[in-house]
C-alpha cells in the first residue's frame, strides 16, 4: 500500500483532525487479510454493463476491456447529462466492446438486446446518482433507479428462463442506503437500511428488489455498497470536481452548512477493481461493502484541495482557501458515512491501493490537463443547473 502506519479511529477526536486517517482492514476484526487469486476469469463471458458512459461505469469498462479482451462487453447507457462517450475514447475501438444508446426503462429494447447478445451477466450501474438532484426531482430517481432496475431484473429473469447456471446479476449500490451515522461506528453488511434522501431511498428500493428476485425466483445476484468515489471523469456536480472547477474559475466554493459532514472517500479505480473482484469471486446472494478507510470532514477535505490547487496553479499558500463560502445546508443532509470494508478484504482479498493524497493530486492533475472535457460538460445545461442549485443558496 505504501501507507503510513494506521492511525486508530476515534470519532470524538476526528472532526478537527485534518490528518489522513487510514484504518487498516486488519484492525477491524484482528485477522490478517487473506489474499485470493482470481481464477474465475479465463472463460469467455458476454456482459451487459449499464451506465458505462458515466463516471464509475467508464472506469469499469476501461478496466474490463483492457484486462479481459476475450469478454464481449455491451455498454448500455441512455447518455443523460451524466453520460459522456468522451470518457471511453481510448477503448471504443476494442474488438469485443460495443455501445448501445438505450434506456433501462425500455423493456422492449432490453428484451431485444438479451435475445440478440445472449448475455450471461449484467453489471448494473445506470442510475440517477446525485443527491441534490434527487431533492429537486425525486420522480426521476424513482423512474430510473427503481423502475429501471426492476425492468432489468425482469428482462434478465425472463431471458434466462430459470436456467441460472453461469449467470450473474451484479447490482452496484451505495453506502447511503444505510442512512447517516451520528454516534460513531461503521456500516457493515448487516446494518439495517435507513435511507434518508430520495436518492438513497431509490437505491435502497432497488437493492430490495434485487434481493427479492434472488429470493423469489432464484435469480443469482450479488450486490456491493460503496462509499463516495473520486477521480477522473466525474461530473462536476459532485463535491470534488465541482470544487476543482470553481477553484480554477476563481468562483466561490459553496460549502453546505458548516462543512462538518463526513464522507469516506475511495479512488474510483479502486472501486472498479473491487467490482472486478466481486463480479468474479463474490458469492451468489452476498453483499459486499466497499470503502476507502478514508474519512474526511468536508471542510478539511476542501482545505487540502485548496493547498493542492495553490501548488498546481502557482498561487501563494492560502490564496485558494479565500474562495471558501458557507451556503445554506442541503435539506436532510446526512452527517456521516463510514464503511467497514473488512468482509471484502477478508473474503476476496481487496483493499484500496493508493493514499488519498496521491489520489487527490492525480485527480487535480487530470482535471487541469483535461480542460476541454471540463469546458464541454460545463456549458449549457450545466450552467442552468448550477444557477438553479446555487444562485439562491
Task: Write each residue from 320 to 359 as x if it is in contact with ligand TYD (CB under 6 A), else as -, in one continuous string.
Answer: ----------x-----------------------------
Find the residue with minimal CB distance to ligand NAD: 54
Q: How many CA atoms lie within 13 Å of 18's alpha carbon, on the beta-carbon side?
A: 9
Catalytic annotation present for 176:
yes
263 binds ligand TYD (CB under 6 A): yes
Task: Tell me the C-alpha distance between 356 and 338, whole Å.
Answer: 15
Catalytic annotation present for 217:
no
Task: Write each residue from 174 to 213 as x if it is in contact with ligand TYD (CB under 6 A), else as -, in one continuous string.
Answer: ----------------------------------------
Adjacency order of strands within the sheet including 228-230:
228-230, 262-267, 295-297
Closest among 262, 281, 160, 266 to 213, alpha carbons compared: 160
Task: Tell me the C-alpha distance between 152 and 76, whole Å.
Answer: 12
Adjacency order of strands within the sheet including 46-50:
97-101, 72-77, 46-50, 121-124, 168-174, 221-226, 287-290
Sole binder of ligand TYD in the list 255, 305, 308, 364 (CB under 6 A): 255
The catalytically annotated residue of 132, 176, 300, 345 is: 176
* Residues of this chain, 218-237, that bind ligand TYD according to CB under 6 A: 228
Q: How many CA atoms lie within 13 Å of 170's alpha carbon, on the beta-carbon side?
A: 28
Catalytic annotation present for 26:
no
Q: Minimum CB separation from ligand NAD for residue 83, in Å?
A: 3
The catalytically annotated residue of 77, 103, 175, 345 is: 175
Look at the block and give the residue holding cell 487469486.
37
Count of C-beta atoms within a 10 Å radius of residue 92: 15
Task: Write each residue from 26 to 45 as x if it is in contact with ligand TYD (CB under 6 A), else as -, in one continuous string.
Answer: --------------------
131 touches which of ligand NAD, ligand TYD, none (CB within 5 to 8 A by kind)? ligand TYD
Task: Tell me the C-alpha distance between 302 and 307, whole Å.
Answer: 9
DSSP 311-341: HHTTPPTTTGGGGEEEEPPPTT---B--B--
Please choose, out of 68-76, 91-99, 252-260, 343-351, the segment that lies near ligand TYD by the rule CB under 6 A.
252-260
Q: Minimum CB separation from ligand NAD for residue 262, in Å?
A: 14
Please choose, out of 24-32, 255-263, 311-319, 364-372, the segment that lies near ligand TYD by the rule CB under 6 A.
255-263
Give me the residues that bind ligand NAD (CB under 6 A), please.
Answer: 50-51, 53-57, 77-80, 82-83, 103-105, 125-129, 144, 148, 172, 174, 203, 226, 228-229, 235
* Residues of this chain, 296-325, that bind ligand TYD according to CB under 6 A: 298
What's the distance, CA 292 to chain centroid? Answer: 12
Region of residue 170 (phi > 0: left; psi between -120 and 50: alpha; otherwise: beta) = beta
Q: Minimum CB separation from ligand NAD for residue 129, in Å?
A: 4
Could you list the beta-strand ranges (E) of 105-185: 121-124, 168-174
> Would you please indicate which residues are annotated as catalytic (active-site) residues?
175-176, 199
What are the residues binding ligand TYD (CB under 6 A)?
Answer: 131, 228, 238-239, 242, 254-256, 261, 263, 298, 330
Amino acid at each position: 500500500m505504501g501507507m503510513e502506519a494506521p492511525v486508530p479511529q476515534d470519532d470524538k477526536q476526528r472532526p478537527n483532525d485534518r490528518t489522513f486517517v487510514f484504518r487498516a482492514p486488519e484492525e477491524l476484526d484482528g485477522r490478517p487479510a487473506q489474499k485470493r487469486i482470481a481464477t474465475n476469469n479465463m472463460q469467455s463471458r458476454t456482459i451487459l454493463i449499464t451506465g458505462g458512459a458515466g463516471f464509475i461505469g467508464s472506469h469499469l469498462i476501461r478496466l474490463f476491456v483492457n484486462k479481459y479482451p476475450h469478454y464481449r462487453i455491451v455498454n448500455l447507457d441512455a447518455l443523460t447529462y451524466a453520460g459522456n462517450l468522451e470518457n471511453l475514447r481510448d477503448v471504443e475501438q476494442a474488438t469485443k466492446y460495443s455501445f448501445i444508446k438505450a434506456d433501462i426503462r425500455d423493456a422492449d429494447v432490453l428484451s431485444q438486446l438479451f435475445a440478440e447478445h445472449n448475455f450471461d451477466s449484467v453489471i448494473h450501474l445506470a442510475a440517477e446518482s446525485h443527491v441534490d438532484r434527487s431533492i429537486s426531482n425525486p420522480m426521476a430517481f424513482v423512474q430510473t433507479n427503481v423502475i429501471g432496475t426492476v425492468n432489468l431484473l425482469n428482462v434478465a429473469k425472463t431471458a434466462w428462463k430459470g436456467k441460472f447456471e453461469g449467470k450473474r446479476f451484479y447490482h452496484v449500490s451505495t453506502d447511503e442506503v444505510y442512512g447517516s451515522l451520528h454516534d460513531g461506528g461503521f456500516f457493515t453488511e448487516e446494518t439495517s437500511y435507513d435511507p434518508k434522501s430520495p436518492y438513497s431511498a431509490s437505491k435502497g428500493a432497488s437493492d430490495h428488489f434485487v434481493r427479492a428476485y434472488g429470493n423469489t425466483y432464484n435469480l443469482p445476484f450479488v450486490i456491493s455498497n460503496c462509499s463516495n468515489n473520486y477521480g477522473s471523469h466525474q461530473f462536476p456536480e459532485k463535491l470534488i470536481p465541482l470544487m476543482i472547477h470553481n477553484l480554477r474559475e476563481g468562483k466561490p466554493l459553496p460549502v453546505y452548512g458548516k462543512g462538518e459532514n463526513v464522507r469516506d472517500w475511495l479512488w474510483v479505480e479502486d472501486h472498479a477493481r473491487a467490482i472486478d473482484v466481486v463480479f468474479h469471486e463474490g458469492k451468489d446472494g452476498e453483499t459486499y461493502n466497499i470503502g476507502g478507510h478514508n474519512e474526511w470532514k468536508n471542510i478539511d477535505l476542501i482545505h487540502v484541495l485548496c493547498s493542492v490547487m495553490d501548488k498546481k496553479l502557482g498561487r501563494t499558500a492560502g490564496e485558494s482557501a479565500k474562495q471558501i463560502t458557507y451556503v445554506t445546508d442541503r435539506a436532510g443532509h446526512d452527517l456521516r458515512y463510514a464503511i467497514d470494508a473488512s468482509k471484502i478484504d477478508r473474503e476476496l482479498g481487496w483493499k484500496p491501493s493508493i493514499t488519498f493524497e496521491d489520489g487527490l493530486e492525480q485527480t487535480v492533475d487530470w482535471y487541469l490537463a483535461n480542460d476541454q472535457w471540463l469546458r464541454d460538460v460545463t456549458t449549457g445545461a450545466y450552467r442552468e443547473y448550477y444557477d438553479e442549485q446555487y444562485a439562491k443558496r
